[in-house]
Amino acid sequence: MRIVFAGTPDFAVPSLRAAAARGEVVAVYTQPDRPAGRGRELQASPVKLEALKRGIPVLQPETLKSELSRDALRALEPDLMVVVAYGQLLPQKILDIPKYGCWNVHASLLPRWRGAAPIQRAIEAGDRETGVCLMQMEKGLDTGPVLLSQKLAIGENETGGELHDRLSELGAQTLADGLGLLRAGIRPVAKPQPETGATYAHKLEKGEAKLDWTQSAQRLADKVRAFQPWPVAEAEVAGERLRIHAAVALPLAHQAAPGTLLVAGRDGIDIACGEGALRIRTLQREGGKAITAADYLNARRDLRAGA
């Protein structure tokens, strides 16, 4: 088969490897190089770096809506286009070019968590299960019929970064299964998504990182996990702005106002929430690095003494 792959971030790299395992990827589409880092130097995407390492031609159009973009794709004579976190919506005229259309690897059990941030939104919502879907793409956002899917349990303390890595590998495995069927002359059966249960996973925003102590401790603990490693939860703790890297919810009954420091010790810093308490275990001060609560209290003995 002649496969064209479209993807950009780290999440898509294992899927590119799976698609390229038999040397069938004739071209890779990825987002244009963007400024990054302190020097704001142009940086290639992880997918571009992987493609160049494999000697696969790379295309980086700003848009796929032009006639020029459509002509370039037609010239590749693709049997299939595989799309994984590409970062652009594909117009119908692009979807119609490959012989078998376009497949998308999506990190949720559709129709739950359509959209840009399904991994983090699943953790933030307290979901206990997620997975990946191999979907036949159509014009709507993540609305196409599902070809294959695999479920995955979310660990009790699993972070967004950890779940991202596991789903990235599971997505590649699911894609490999689908490609194996297609190579054998078997087209996976496209099953329409259920009419009910659709939710939308909005893109993560930096402003969401601030914790609201009036919410329940469990809700805040789920946010801390979801927002690790980015944007990282933030909160006001004992008069200081801190980034919260790890925390757990305590089913603790109390009469304190939300945001009150309850206990500070080696096991963590317990903050009163609207329901229960949040025990902060790993945190980061302004301009510092992530440290344990015990190390933080060594510098804030006033908190330990007052606990």
State the residue for tokens 């792959």: 5
Instruction: Consult the annotation and say whether 261 binds a ligand.
Output: no
Instruction: Consult the annotation and say whether 66 binds a ligand.
Output: no
State the residue for tokens 């299939």: 80
Own/partner pairs, 67-71, CB within 8 angstroms, 24+ separation = 69/94, 70/94, 70/97
Helix (H, G, I), strand (E, B) or coil at 207: helix
Closest CA to 138 of 180, 188, 175, 190: 190
Q: In terms of residues, how long is the chain?
A: 307
Could you give the C-alpha distances from 234 to 140, 163, 247, 272, 284, in angstroms and in order? Answer: 35, 21, 12, 15, 9
32 contacts 58 by C-beta, under 8 angstroms: no
Distance in angstroms (rounded) separating the CA atoms of residues 200 and 118? 8
As a whole number of angstroms, the longest Cα–Cα distance in the chain is 72
For the CA atoms of the chain, what is the radius of gyration? Answer: 23
Question: Which residues, in sequence order, are bridge partners of residue 35?
Answer: 42
Instruction: Consult the annotation and say whether 80 binds a ligand.
Output: no
Instruction: Consult the annotation and say whether 111 binds a ligand.
Output: yes
End-to-end distance of the chain based on CA atoms, in angstroms? Answer: 66
Helix (H, G, I), strand (E, B) or coil at 282: strand
Distance in angstroms (rounded) separating the CA atoms of residues 134 and 112? 14
Binding-site residue numbers are 108-111
Binding-site residue numbers for (6S)-5,6,7,8-tetrahydrofolate are 108-111
